[in-house]
A and B are shown apart, each in its own frame.
Chain A
């Protein structure tokens, strides 16, 4: 048993890292009771009360909170980097966001912009009205290094890509309070259908996601989108 960093419950982090590396083609590990219970509830409350919720885009059905500036998020990222240094100790926290599924509508298959993703669930189990749903599905599809951000994460391109390349393999991780999934960001994934109590923000499915990567790699992927001529920038990057 490895000593627990401040926010995290203790576990054998070496086993966790090994599980992620050996679970090809999905490359994931389930981390139950990731956070100390008090810390998990405080993080949940801080997110629900945070000012930054909004609809992310014209097609996104849920509420999105982009980079909520909660100290616990950064503490969690630091603790993880120390807990699994071989996986993410050399990476930075590059993106983090929370999603509140206030219409009980999930999302389509995509992969994340990062090298390693942590997905943490923060709604107590009693609000999950169907325990056979609400979890995460990892697919037997990975993005390739040359794929552009919108190709692996903007629908319908990302979901079409996953549909074309899957051999039908899936790993389904059921929903559970304070359960996290640490996985290879290049693995395509999507939430299961869900049926949470639709009464209020305190009962909606709430998830927090952190992605870790090399900042220079992330900036390199983003740069062409901000160029005066994005298509030309992509061509130049590819040549």
Chain B
């Protein structure tokens, strides 16, 4: 659904944003190398794009998603992801679900699978296409304005997770 922009932009700013969005969309139609940082474990995982295909989701994936799973969205298309990453249960081993919207595919790596790509430390100096940070819990969600968070937390209705760029 179309919604109002939070801040009124000048025409020049609006054009600059549109150009940036277009460039971003063009870049991210290709699956990038993904860096996932885990500050709690003082490590990161560098997953080459060429290897992500091994972890493409299917019906067998869905049983594994649990409170330790963190969903990351590689932006693409004309929708903006509104939900910041969260981990429902902080003391479960993290797993990651990476959604690549432009390609309409997703990839799931459980904690065991992630270990093949583990690098100690935060990954300074590494080359990658996009990076994400595993939250300790729901801290990023809690930083949202209360009203914004509440609409994202609606019971079942789909409203609010995406809005058009």
Hey, what's the 0/1 contact readout for B127-165 against A, CB within 8 Å counting as 1? 000000000001001000101101111111111111100
Hey, what's the 0/1 contact readout for B1-17 against A, CB within 8 Å counting as 1? 11111110000000000
Looking at A8-16, A24-32, A63-71, the stretch in contact with chain B turns out to be: A63-71
* Chain B: number of interface residues, binned into ranges: 35 or more
Q: Are A53 and B57 in contact (CB under 8 A)?
A: yes
Residues on A with beta carbons closer than 8 Å to the beta carbon of B104: 51-52, 69
Interface of B is mostly: loop
Q: Are B6 and A209 in contact (CB under 8 A)?
A: no
Q: Chain A nearest CB: distance from B135 CB in Å? A: 10
Q: Are A226 and B5 in contact (CB under 8 A)?
A: yes
Interface of A is mostly: mixed
Query: Does A158 sit at the interface, judged by CB under 8 A?
Result: yes
Q: Are B148 and A230 in contact (CB under 8 A)?
A: yes
Q: Are B1 and A51 in contact (CB under 8 A)?
A: no
The listed residue with most B CB atoms (<10 A of its CB), out of A57, A114, A222, A223, is A57
Q: List the 9 closest pairs (A to B, CB-CB), nearest first.
A: A97-B158, A150-B150, A110-B155, A153-B154, A230-B147, A201-B59, A58-B138, A51-B106, A95-B158
- Listed A/B pairs (16) with beta-carbon separation below 8 Å: A49-B59, A53-B65, A58-B141, A67-B158, A95-B159, A96-B158, A97-B156, A107-B156, A113-B157, A149-B159, A153-B155, A153-B157, A154-B155, A200-B63, A226-B5, A228-B7
